[in-house]
Amino acid sequence: MKKILALFAFCLSLQTQAALISIETDKTTYQVNDVITAKVQVSGLAINELISAYLFKLQLPSAGLQLLSYQFGDLLGGSNSSMQDLLDFGSELQVSEVSFADDSELTTLQQGGAFTLVSLQFKVQQAGQFMLSLFDLDTSGAGSVSQPVDLAKDIEFTVNKVPAPASLLLLLPFALWLGRRR
């Protein structure tokens, strides 16, 4: 009986760590007219697990950011071996990719267990506090992924107004005084 209880306790102590899809920006503070680079990344894939398809949505602020460009990663086979799609609905982006590569090719590509799905660039149009949220993840067509894939928490960043060149105006009286003194 003790062995059965010990085996049961051991089984409960084993933790399965889910793979994680997260979004990261290159900085946390920006100024108006800056370009934000945001990367949606996968981490925590086990050695024998692959992602061959995904679909997720990215909630954007209702105003303040303009999508400039995007580039899909190449670890699902790239544009020649996968179908890549990004739909821009203004305050929401829908991003999907389906790989046509076989499992052996994907295993070679995804060996590290962490990679970028898509890289996005936005132009900041107004100051304020902003948040990007990933939601509605679907990896149901995801090949050999046997454990769940989780979404990371939202990411927040601040956009400040571009400061006026007031320091030059403060130096002007001093420069005039020096010029007059000579």
pLDDT tens-digit series, residues 79-102 = 888 999 999 988 899 999 988 888
Tokens 């051991």 belong to 10
Q: Is residue 167 part of a domain?
A: no
Q: Is residue 71 part of a domain?
A: yes
Q: Is residue 174 part of a domain?
A: no
Segment 3-45, tens digit of pLDDT: 554 544 444 444 445 678 888 888 888 988 999 999 998 888 7
**Has residue 72 got a pLDDT over 80?**
yes
The SS3 assignment for 83 reads strand
| Nearest-angstrom CA–CA distance, 65 and 103 | 38
Label each residue of 5-68 as H, E or C: HHHHHHHHHCCCCCEEEEEEECCCEEECCCEEEEEEEEECCCCCCCCCEEEEEEECCCCCEEEE
Comparing CA positions, the residue from 35, 59, 58, 60 lying closest to residue 125 is: 35
Q: Is residue 5 part of a domain?
A: no
| Nearest-angstrom CA–CA distance, 42 and 94 | 17
Q: Is residue 31 part of a domain?
A: yes
Is the full-model pTM beyond 0.85? no
Task: Specify the pLDDT at position 35.
Answer: 94
Return the CATH number at 88.
Answer: 2.60.40.680
Look at the chain and report how many structural domains it folds into.
1
Task: Specify the pLDDT at position 182.
Answer: 66
Q: Is residue 93 part of a domain?
A: yes
Q: How confident is the model at residue 166 (pLDDT cuts 50, 70, 90)?
A: low
- The more confident residue out of 59 and 7 is 59
Q: Is residue 150 part of a domain?
A: yes
**Has residue 75 got a pLDDT over 70?**
yes
Task: Specify the pLDDT at position 123.
Answer: 92
Comparing CA positions, the residue from 91, 95, 162 lying closest to residue 127 is: 162
**Has residue 178 got a pLDDT over 60?**
yes
Say which residues have a Cβ less than 8 Å from residue 94's Cβ, sequence separation at least 6: 55, 56, 57, 58, 85, 86, 87
Segment 126-159, tens digit of pLDDT: 888 888 888 877 776 555 544 456 666 777 778 8
Task: Specify the pLDDT at position 129.
Answer: 87
Listing DSSP states for 125-177 in one string gives -S-EEEEEEEEEEE-TT-TT--S-EEEPPPEEEEEEPPPP-HHHHHHHHHHHH
Task: Specify the pLDDT at position 70.
Answer: 95
| 147: Cα within 13 Å, side-chain hemisphere | 14
Q: Do 122 and 39 contact (CB within 8 A), yes or no?
A: no
Burial class (CB in 10 A: 0-12, 13-18, 19+), 60: buried
Q: Is residue 64 part of a domain?
A: yes
| Owning domain of residue 73 | 18-161
